[in-house]
Structure 1
Amino acid sequence: MSTRPEPPLARLAWLGMAGLALALLFLSPAVGQQPSPAPLAGPAAPPPIAEPGDYRMDAYRAPTPATLKGAVVLDTPAAQALWRDKAALFVDVMPRDVKPANLPAGTIWRDKKRDHLPGSVWLPNVGYGALSPEMDAYFRRSLTELSADRKDAVLVFYCMTDCWMSWNAARRALAYGYTGVAWYPAGADGWAKAGLPLEPATPRE
């Protein structure tokens, strides 16, 4: 995959704020009419998920925090703007089942199909809480090659909605010294839900 020039993290921060302003609407009852009764309160919203002090080690498909210290968190419009402008490298970290070495002879193994954001690079299994030395070396080498060894390259990590794999991977990239890290928590399913395209993914060796 060719490397494209990317903007500094400051631009990412600006993009991440796009579309976040809210307007307040004040509805006044017509003259002579009684105001409508206040609607009954719905169930209380669940408390926000706090960032853990380290990597998430299990139960990876679960609600995630709204923040990742040191990274920019992107909503779908902000991620789409970066994707459309080719201003970032999108890194898919969806895990992939590894073919067992002891399968009986003649057993047919089929990889599970994965669709992701067009132009993304799929680095499977780098989002676990603990990586083997081989997987850690694979992640480091891949980011070095894909970023042309630029620590300020803009890297957008994602997986699926409610997936800690992307949170872990983005946190690990920060630990590697990358300064242009962004996290897209909505993931491939959130992207598709917004009517945006996907393409078949092939894992990077």
Structure 2
Amino acid sequence: MKTAAALLLVIATSASAQDAPLFDPVTGYRLTAYRGVVDSVPEGVVRIDARQAAALRGKAVFLDVTPAEGAVRDAEGTWRLAMPHATIPGAHWYPEAGRGIQPAGIGAWFADGVKRLTRGRRDTRVVVFCLADCWMSWNAARRLRRAGYTRINWFSEGLDGWKESGRTLADARPDR
């Protein structure tokens, strides 16, 4: 009897996951299955590769939106990380900022951080990235463009492409 109940639970969970929409019909943000082939570029955003990203270091604000696996963010905004994270040297890490529906407090934290880093100038060049085949950076780039930022570069190869091109990474902590 327990086996039958467990099987029904697995089937119900699988069916509900399959029925969940991939994209929000209103905002266009990806909501689930964040790791997968990303075959389009958000409108008004320019896709760049590792060579172009390296050339922009020091000339743009780099934003890493890779999730913090197993981490917890408390009400004051302090992160307790389950594992270390490495990013492109000089990048600012905003875990969870690329989710289609952002957890409480993340949206404002990301928006305020970008505003601070760009000194309120929406024409500042910004490079957004995550991992290769990651919809979170796509979402974050789209979100910034919709917020009025005009020079958004999406480094779609992300940390994977950076490492594969032989470049080094640096230890990171979520941006404060």
TM-score interval, smaller chain: 0.7 to 0.9
Distance 2:141 2:165 in 1: 23
State the AA in 1 paired with 2:132. Answer: T
Distance 1:75 1:111, change over 3 A: same
Cα-to-partner distance string for 1:3-26 (whole Å, 9 max, x where unaligned): xxxxxxxxxxxxxxxxxxxxxxxx
Structure 1 stretches of 5 or more lacking a match?
Answer: 1-50, 102-108
Whole-angstrom CA distance in 2 between matches of 1:159 and 1:110? 17
Partner of residue 89, structure 1: 61
Post-superposition shift, 1:100?
Answer: 8.3
Aligned to 2:17: none
Please tell me the residue identity of whatever aligns with 1:65.
D
Structure 2: distance between partners of 1:141 and 1:100: 17
Question: Residues 135, 52 of structure 1: CA spacing in aligned structure 2 closer, same or farther, 3 A cutoff?
Answer: closer
- The correspondence for 1:186, drawn from 131, 154, 157, is 157
**Higher strand fraction: Structure 1 or Structure 2?**
2
Moved over 6 A (4+): none
Q: Deviation of residue 110 (structure 1)?
A: 5.3
1:152 matched residue in structure 2:
123
- Whole-Å separation in 2 of the counterparts to 1:110 and 1:78: 31
Q: Counterpart in 1 of 2:43?
A: 69
- Please report the TM-score for the alignment, with normalisation by the length of structure 1: 0.66
The 1:55/1:199 distance shift into structure 2, 3 A limit, reads same
Identity value in percent: 36
Structure number with bigger Rg: 1
Structure with greater helix share of residues = 2
CA distance in 2, matches of 1:177, 1:67: 17
Q: Determine if the alignment matches structure 1 residue 58 to structure 2 residue 56.
A: no
User: Following the alignment from structure 2 to structure 1, what is the Cα–Cα distance between the partners of residues 160 and 31?
Assistant: 23
The residue type equivalent to 2:139 in the other structure is N
State TM-score, norm by structure 2.
Answer: 0.77
Task: Count the aligned residue pairs.
Answer: 146
**Where do 1:96-135 residues align within 5 Å?**
96=68, 97-99=70-72, 111-132=82-103, 134-135=105-106
The change in CA–CA distance for 1:145 and 1:186 in structure 2 (over 3 A counts) is same
